[in-house]
Chain A
Amino acid sequence: MLQPLFIFSGHIENTLLPHWSAVLPFIFLLLAIATGPVFFRHLWEKHYSKVSIVLGLIVAAYYIFALKDSQSILHSVTEYISFIALLSSLFVATGGISIKVSKEGTPLFNTLFLLFGAVISNLIGTTGASMLLIRPFLKINKDRIKPYHIIFFIFSVSNVGGALTPIGDPPLFLGFLRGVPFFWVIANIWYIWLPAILIILSIFYIIDKQNNPVLKSTTAKKDFHIEFKGLTNLFFVMIILLSVVIDKNFFPSLPDFSPLPFGIREIIMFAVVFLSYKMSDKEALRLNEFDFEPIKEVAYLFIGIFLTMVPALQLIAFESNAYRDYLTQGSFYWGSGTLSSFLDNAPTYLNFLSAAMGKFGLDVNNMADVKEFVVRDDSYLRAISVGAVFFGAMTYIGNGPNFMVKSISERAGIKMPSFGRYITHYSLPVLLPVFTIIWFIFFR
């Protein structure tokens, strides 16, 4: 059954609503990501890229030929290219910076390290902070490392930490591009961010305190000392961060390459990938054992996710708009959160923002409307922002850096939990109660 669709990724469109069965490739891809590495690892490692691309193409073909809607697919491809341009440029630029911390990872030092990472992720993005800090974090804990160290790193540095600025996480940046004031985020999220991060890190501290280290005399360090290699790559990180704000909303005179699914920003980012790799300190690359495989894995899996999630997002957008008058702050918090756990959080954020603005008869594509929405009642925006950013930590696929942190840890010789075990043993018992407390206090 085809129905008119009003909103997709924040764009008002007169397209047709997909049949519910169009969501099946997305569900199949999620199941494959969850079960493939556990039950048929070798087969999965050889063919995951093909599985992801084929499932994505099935959905793309359905849209283009059955729904006659190439716009939705083009839009998703555009968002994917922006996503992978940012991730790959930060991955390569930070991959050429080696940080050596000569300090043992005590529970207190680790907790402070994660807090530092959570704060810094607001300045260089969760991806940048994750790539820069995961290796030194593993090194300082090399004699007592356990999977929970890495998982709490994913919780705090790769996700929840980056909720304070639009640079921190892509959905907040999309909101900023649409008209949410830059400092609205920190002014309105800090008092939710602070207890959330403190609870998560307190849990980490308690768990880490139980982990008795088997210290080796050769690695025991007394003095705190930090050494950097490849610091010139910070220049490239700065270019990436500055290029993030190159958007037509701010610079209308920017060249428009449409219908090509990229702009000047993506060209700069891909140029940084090439230049920073060529100009990186080779010793830093060697010490980091730099390899493109982790970003290739993300690129292949997420092209499938971005394409197959199109019908899921459209159906959710349709439903949330149909029932928007009944949706509360809590609905937006749990709705954007639950979906951000499995879908990309940026379009999820925009869809829910669109539905919330619809309650007031405002349009997410109009910057003046967004500013008015923020002034009139920003409680919905707060719920959506927190849900979209925080819940990215719920699964390995909730946010781009999660997978990369996992991959770097495995290459260091750490056996990481499977997709399902991550959820059942870590995110459900740790994060869900924390997020429920957040809901109870702030969004009930």
Chain B
Amino acid sequence: MQTLLIDEVISQNIKGLYYGNRLILPFKADFLKIVIDDELILDFSMDGEKVEISEEEYFTNIYFLNEDDLAETVTKFETIKIVAVEKNQSLFDIKCHKMLALSLEAPHFVNINYITEEMLFID
């Protein structure tokens, strides 16, 4: 198993996972912004009160500290929106900012797609 790029994850339709308040993404990235429900998350420091991020060899865990169960928060038509940058790309080049929409699929899958022009999301 090797670390995948975000592009590869999306083009190969590889799904993430969720368990309770834990989101497991099959890639590694630097995170700039997460919107879950009406919560805007910008603090990804160790002291951050909203999320805790931990990287494993091939994947990333995001724990939403204020949530008990992601399935309760993110409903049928909603998505978790993420702005992330691939590990090997420049954080300072705005063209490298990838905007992702994550929708949940029972029992534990996470569909990962790019946010389209039609979707409402402010970078």
A interface residues with partner B (beta carbon < 8 Å): 42, 45, 98, 100, 135, 138-139, 142, 145, 216, 218-219, 282, 285-293, 407, 410-415
Contacts and interface: CB of A to CB of B under 8 A. Distances in A.
Interface stretch (B7-15, B22-30, B55-63, B114-122): B114-122
A412 B49 CA distance: 21
A61 B65 CA distance: 37
Contact of B38 (A42, A142, A410): A410
6 contacts: A216-B94, A289-B79, A293-B75, A411-B38, A411-B120, A413-B33
A361 to B, nearest CB: 50
B81 interface: yes
A412 B120 contact: yes
Given A407-B38, A411-B38, A413-B33, A100 B118 contact: yes
Given A289-B79, A289-B119, A291-B78, A411 B33 contact: no
B121 A413 contact: yes
Interface of B, helix, strand, loop or mixed by DSSP: loop
A218 B94 CA distance: 12
A289 B77 contact: yes
Interface residues of B, number: 21
Contacts of B78: 289-291, 411
A285 to B, nearest CB: 5
| 10 tightest A-B CB contacts, nearest first | A410-B38, A413-B122, A413-B35, A290-B77, A412-B120, A285-B77, A42-B66, A289-B78, A286-B77, A291-B75
A411 B35 contact: yes
B122 A142 contact: yes
B84 to A, nearest CB: 14
Contacts of B96: none
Contacts of A292: 75
A289 B40 CA distance: 16
Contact of B119 (A216, A285, A287): A287
A288 B119 CA distance: 7
Contact of B40 (A45, A138, A216, A413): A413
